[in-house]
Amino acid sequence: MPGTYTHKFDTPAYKGEATIHTGLFIGGKWVDPIEGGTIDYNWAASFIRLDFAINPPASILAYKTVWGLHYPGAGRGKLLNKLADLIEKNIDEFAALEALDVGKVFAKAKVIDIGGAITCLRYYAGWADKVQGKTIETTENKLAYTRHEPYGVVGQIVPWNFPMGMVSWKIGPALATGNTVVLKPSEITPLTALKLADLINEAGFPPGVVNIVNGYGHTVGQAISEHPQIHKVAFTGSTLTGRKILKASAETNLKVVTLELGGKSPLVVFDDADIDQAVKWASHGIFFNMGQACTAGSRIFLQEGIYDAFLEKFTAIAHDLAAKTGDPFTPGTQHGPQVSQIQFDRIMSYIDSGKSDGAKVHAGGERHGSEGFFVKPTIFTDCHPDMKITKEEIFGPVAAVIKFKTEEEVIDLANNTEYGLACHVFSQNVNRAIRVAHALEAGSAWVNCAQFTDIAVPFGGYKQSGIGRELGEYALDTYTQVKAVHINIGTNL
């Protein structure tokens, strides 16, 4: 029987205890891994346990007997709504765990991460009984129609930067459409996913509908990608890992794969933009979540007429955030630490690279304080397209600022990347704003705002930023397969 981990919170923002099971959640029960070993405070899964999660009596058995098309959509929606209600009832505890695990500011974790997860689950609860095919007219001698059927067992691998948010983006549409789930949270930030498992039982989901297995990507993630009984995998993370998942699919059972990968998103500000609003949104676009967001507007293109005025205001916000950097549970904190030593070191190495390549540190460019994984909000100027800091995803609070003259020039500069996850355009000229948003090669285009997603609007990337779409009605298509049914009602041979 696996143990538990209890954390006592005694902070200005939250006081209380949170207890987490440290095993694997399979078939509605907590089980030990076959092989021992720990990753910090959570147990690593083995392929043997993963196989148990997928094969009877867990995921497949649940799908074939008590879930999928055996459980009406209205009932699936009711369970998703109940799960959302239970999370809302425990929202402070979930926010505290997210802040502890990731380093998010508690107040922001409560509203954005946990609040967003609740909204997402309720959204897909509403879709659960509206997954429909269509009747197709052919001839009077045939009745033809389509059914949108679940895949069965789906594997889901979520990242460390938005643990609960990404869990809800994955399990919401998967469960609404009748699939069973084998979910792997990040080994860096598993706490809220493990806490969620207890609420899944409390909500009344049949055993085996949701299974949560811990471990490293190269073991558990690889096993999910290769397992012959998993017919669909959804992954959010790096482009490098996305390639490995596609390769594993190709070499095994050709499972369907959706990927939400990296980004190096451009943020374009024209002379006619509302500068005050553009500065505020641009700051949110790069410094939100300490820069640890795949859609971060990390390449900031400023038209020469507003360059100086924008940079002055942008720098003031960066300095203000630096002054409000600290403990995520302390009131007034606006900027927390990076998630880990590895991520901190990675960001600092990119800052060093920017300096050595000739970019100018306009703000920040160093760690904050002498302890912890805090990085000052950083602004580089005198940047060029061939620098590492303008080409590669840093995943930290580091902005590369580039001056431009014309619309045509900035479109070419912005599209000069292997990524295509998002873009941002600021202009009061609606014709130009729409024209440029259409010209930029990205799956999401935000006009006069930044990193402003909505549960009802699809999300995904162009180029090497991914395959498929999450969120909105579009996500339902990625968790169903279309069956065409032909019924002969009059043709005789």
Q: What's the maximum distance between 2 C-alpha atoms anywhere in the chain?
A: 84
Cα–Cα distance for residue pair 450/378, rounded to 1 Å: 18
Active-site residue (options: 98, 187, 226, 260): 260
Ramachandran region, residue 354 (left: φ > 0; alpha: ψ -120 to 50; beta: rest): alpha
Residue the block writes with tokens 């360059």: 307
As a whole number of angstroms, the distance between CA 244 and CA 222 comes to 8
Nearest Cα to 224, choosing from 157, 273, 324? 157
Cα–Cα nearest to 468, from 302, 324, 196, 257: 257
Token match 């909000």: residue? 377
CA dihedral (223, 170, 167, 70) in degrees, to 10, reads -90
Query: Shortest CA distance to 241 belongs to which of 264, 216, 266?
Result: 216
What count of other Cβ atoms lies within 10 Å of the Cβ of residue 401? 25
The CA distance from 191 to 289, in Å, is 18
Residue burial 150-171, b: 16+ Cβ < 10 Å; e: rest: bbbbbbbbbbbbbbbbbbbbbb
Work out whether strand 398-404 and strand 378-381 pair parallel, antiparallel, or are unpaired. parallel
Distance CA 468, CA 260 (A): 8
Q: Which of 356, 464, 373, 361 is nearest to 419 (CA)?
A: 464
The amino acid that residue 99 corresponds to is A
Cα–Cα distances (Å) from 346 to 26, 268, 429, in that order, read 35, 26, 39
**Angle, nearest 10°, between helix axes 73-89 and 191-203?**
130
Burial of 143 (0-12, 13-18, 19+ CB in 10 A): middle
- Please indicate whether residue 260 is annotated as part of the active site: yes
**Element containing residue 79 per DSSP (H, E):** helix 73-89
H or E element: which one contains 198?
helix 191-203
Rounded Cα distance, 305 and 314, in Å: 15
Within 8 A by CB and 6+ apart from 374, the residues are 325, 326, 335, 336, 337, 338, 367, 368
Catalytic amino acids? 260
